[in-house]
Structure 1
Amino acid sequence: MGGRAARRTGSAVAVCTAAALALGLVTGCSGGAPAPAPSGTRSAQQDVSYFTGLPARQGRPVLAVKIDNVRPARPHTGLGSADLVYVEQVEAGLTRILAVFSSRLPPRVGPVRSARESDLELLRQFDRPALAYSGAQSALRPLIDAAPVEAVPPGRAPKAYERGGDRPAPHNLYLRPERALAAAGDAGAASDIGLRFGPAPEEGRPATAYTVRYPSARYGFTWSAVDKGWRVAMDGIPAATTDGGPLAPATVVVQYTTIRPSEFGDRFGGVTPYTETVGSGRALVLRDGRAYDTRWERRTAAGDTVFITGRGERMTFAPGQVWIVLAPA
């Protein structure tokens, strides 16, 4: 584990209840059931993921995958297995996804697309993760090489990628995560990035649906008591995966931030947006059918992202997959 992770060994983590673990509920817990573990402790029966609050083996490496998200790229593959899903704005007001895997690896993930400068700042929170992407502008490659990531594009890990016959290029490139990590070398293990899991705070208001709009994309989140999560819709169409059914993260964070032009652009003359994830601002957290007005803060690129309630306390998330939608402020 890297030095950043080692410094975090005293950080607080949250666990599902001992009763749930005794029953073998290793894949999920009720949003209001878990209780936070005392500072510096772990579950007596099993380690817990820093990214989901669910039981997971410690020491597993982190793999971030840049995923296409235009209509021809859907439905996705493997996205339901991600611990964290970040939504980022790209050219023409569209979005792409940066999915972070550690607790479990699906056999296949995709479709994979190119990296952006914003990804490098966002991933500084992690302890040198592997980054899988289909390519990048030539001017951006020196920044990727200098960043604290283990880059594994097709040129460095050709056996980790394959083209599918289900849709036309460029929306048919898929990743084999195990092969990507094998080619990544010394990818850092999962460590505390500032998320906290546990019982819901007292404040909050009932919420059944919320919509986030980008210039050319729209995300809808609708609470499902059956799934104990928020059903995702993209551009008005319910989102599902080819290998796991509907997407329904336990917690959705709408992190409002500055999205400004970068120094890069696409081959059609479009300017690439840069999403600032260092700083502070407002955020809306959706969990257990309720909405919580919070603030986010990340003081340095290497620092954690912390979410604070109106009472000045750390916001707790429901155990399970977390979506962080980086929305224009």
Structure 2
Amino acid sequence: MASCNPIELNKTSIQNGFLKRNMTQHEKREDAAMKKARTLGLIIMCLILSLGGCGKESDPSGKTVENGGAVNQTSSAETPAAETETSSATEPVPVPEDDPALPGGVLVMIDNHSKARPQSGLDKADVVFEIMAEGGITRYMALFYTQSAEKIGPVRSARYYFVQLAKGMDLPYAHVGGSTDGLSTISKLGVKDLNEMSNAGYCFWRDKSRKAPHNTYTSTEKLMAGIEKKGFGDKAPVLPPYGTEFIGEALAVGEVELDYYSSGSYSYRVTWRWEEGLGGNGGQYRRYINDKAQSTLEEVPLVADTIYILAASTTSRNTKPLTSAVDIIGEGDALCIVDNQILRGKWVKETAEKPLQILDSTGQPMKRKLGKTWVQIIDSLDDVDLGQ
């Protein structure tokens, strides 16, 4: 067996180590050269790209705009996830809004004497107020906004409490004359006045087929022309908000009766009867006077989706002609009849200039159903039969 010379082994080891060291340094030089080449290549590429990108500028929206102005949209695949628009399936359904046929609202006094029936235009009104006028006869004040009406009437005279309501709504008020305090209240409050007898005869006409004083008529077209001529401006009425769910006491018998007046053989009684499916909105209330269904001259039944009943002290006054005093400034009890439910609350009208508010038991506006609304103002809720 050959012996191993330690000296030769050490020489070989040193030589091998020297070779390894020489190879490592060579590799390092090659590596450095390659890095320099790569760096130089990157610089050249950047120069080429920058030269190729001349003539483009960045739009604030992140789009690239060519010199000619055309926009290159970033592809959807390149859009960051955080910038992608999303829609929520849980967004609340908007409350239905009126779709007005008129540029602004207008109020019209309408006769309810037995010789004035059947009337025209009440079916087109958004809201109808009914209040005692004289000698057991009520009168209407109708608000027109979402529907036009070719014939409205018979139009009758002003009463001060209707004028106070009109002022609170800040809407033009159409009528034929008025009681002494009715006319003075118009002047005092600066109501937007359309009076057939003094300043707006061109807004009305007389129907020869009817006897005076139940023969004066108007239309929304004539009223809008009068409003424009007088420069009253167009204003949308501010009304109670719409609701879609109503929770209250059940209207057990499906009807409500209001006994406005009773003396001897004469009485005036209004009944609203719920009819399921009427009107295509789940049901409506049909209106009756002394148990006779009330319709317009055009044979359109009078109906309501919401009925507010407000208690306001009402007394007869021994004036010529007879008139009533109704305390509509202040507050009182209120009912809302809707979807065969009874909701209880109160009404508030602080001054003649302030609007009438109808509030629920929590002090919030008492909502109404989309559709026709009637406001029955009566002396006391004791005169209202809810069938309970």
Give the counterpart of 2:135 among 84, 92, 95.
92
| Contact 1:219–1:233 (8 Å) recurs in 2 | yes
Residue identity over aligned pairs, in percent, reads: 25
SS at 2:304 equivalent: coil
Distance 1:138 1:283 in 2: 30
RMSD of equivalent CA atoms: 2.4
Match 1:157 to one of 179, 188, 200 = 200
1:245 aligns with 2:300: yes
Structure 2 residue 172 is the aligned partner of structure 1 residue 130: yes
For residue 257 of structure 2, the aligned residue among 211, 232, 239 is 211
Counterpart of 2:100, as a letter, is: A
On the 8 A contact 1:60/1:190 being kept in 2, the answer is yes
Partner SS for 2:241:
coil
Residue 121 (structure 1) aligns with: 164
Residues 140 and 319 of structure 1: is their aligned pair in 2 closer, same or farther, counting only changes over 3 Å?
closer
The one-letter code matched in structure 2 to 1:309 is D
| Higher mean C-alpha deviation, range 309-318 or range 250-259 | 309-318
Normalized against structure 1, the TM-score is what? 0.76
Aligned AA (1:179): K
Structure 2 equivalent of residue 231 of structure 1: 286
C-alpha separation in 2, matches of 1:118 and 1:289: 30
In structure 1, what is the Cα distance between the partners aligned to 2:181 and 2:335?
35
Counterpart amino acid of 2:109? Answer: K
More deviation, 296-305/277-286: 296-305
1:69–1:187: structure 2 CA closer, same or farther, 3 Å change rule? farther
**Are residues 198 and 168 of structure 1, via their aligned partners in 2, closer, same or farther at CA, if it must alter by over 3 Å?**
same
The Cα shift of 1:70 comes to: 1.4
Deviation per CA, 1:55-90: give whole Å up to 9, x if none: 336x82221111110111111101111111000101
Structure 1 gap ranges (5+): 1-33, 38-42, 49-53
Q: d(CA) in 1 for partners of 2:268 and 2:93?
A: 37
Pick closer, same or farther for the CA change 1:306–1:119 going to 2, 3 Å: closer
Alignment of 1:30-45 (within 5 A): 37=95
- Taking structure 2 as the reference length, the TM-score comes to 0.65
Q: Report the number of matched residues.
A: 275
Which residue identity does 1:182 align to in structure 2? A
Name the counterpart of 2:107.
64
1:189-212 CA distance string (max 9 Å, x none) = 02424x121123322313410011
Give, as a single letter, the amino acid of the residue that structure 2 aligns with 1:318. K
**Residue 202 in 1 paired to residue 247 in 2?**
yes
Q: 1:244 to 1:294 in 2, by over 3 A?
A: farther
Q: Which residue identity is paired with 1:56?
A: P
Correspondence for 2:222: 179
Task: Determine if the alignment matches structure 1 residue 277 to structure 2 residue 328.
Answer: yes
1:175 Cα deviation after fit: 1.1
2:313 to 258, 275, 286: 258
Structure with more of its chain in helix, by fraction: 2
* CA distance 1:35–1:147, change in 2 (3 Å): farther
1:142-153 equivalence runs, <5 A? 142-153=184-195
In 1, are the aligned partners of 2:153 and 2:218 still within 8 Å (CA)? Answer: yes
Tell which structure's C-alpha radius of gyration is larger.
2
The alpha-carbon deviation at position 133 of structure 1 amounts to 1.0
Counterpart-to-counterpart distance in 2, 1:288 and 1:244: 25
For residues 141-184 of structure 1, the C-alpha deviation after alignment (integer angstroms, 9 at most, x for no partner) is: 33322323221122322232222243322112111232123223
Structure-1 residue corresponding to 2:337: 286
Match of 1:166 in 2: 209
> Which residue identity is paired with 2:219?
R
- Give the distance between the partners of 1:137 and 1:259, measured in 2 at CA: 16
The letter for the 2-side match of 1:174 is Y
Q: Which residue of 2 aligns with 1:109?
A: 152
What are the residue-to-residue correspondences of 1:314-325 with 2, within 5 Å? 314-325=365-376
Alpha-carbon contact 1:144-1:151 (below 8 Å) kept: yes
In structure 1, how many angstroms separate the alpha carbons of the residues matched to 2:293 and 2:140? 16
**Distance in 2 (alpha carbons) for counterparts of 1:328 and 1:82:** 24
User: Are 2:248 and 2:341, in contact at CA under 8 Å, matched by a contact in 1?
Assistant: no
User: Does the Cα contact within 8 Å between 1:181 and 1:187 map onto a contact in 2?
Assistant: no
Q: Distance in 1 between matches of 2:242 and 2:376?
A: 18
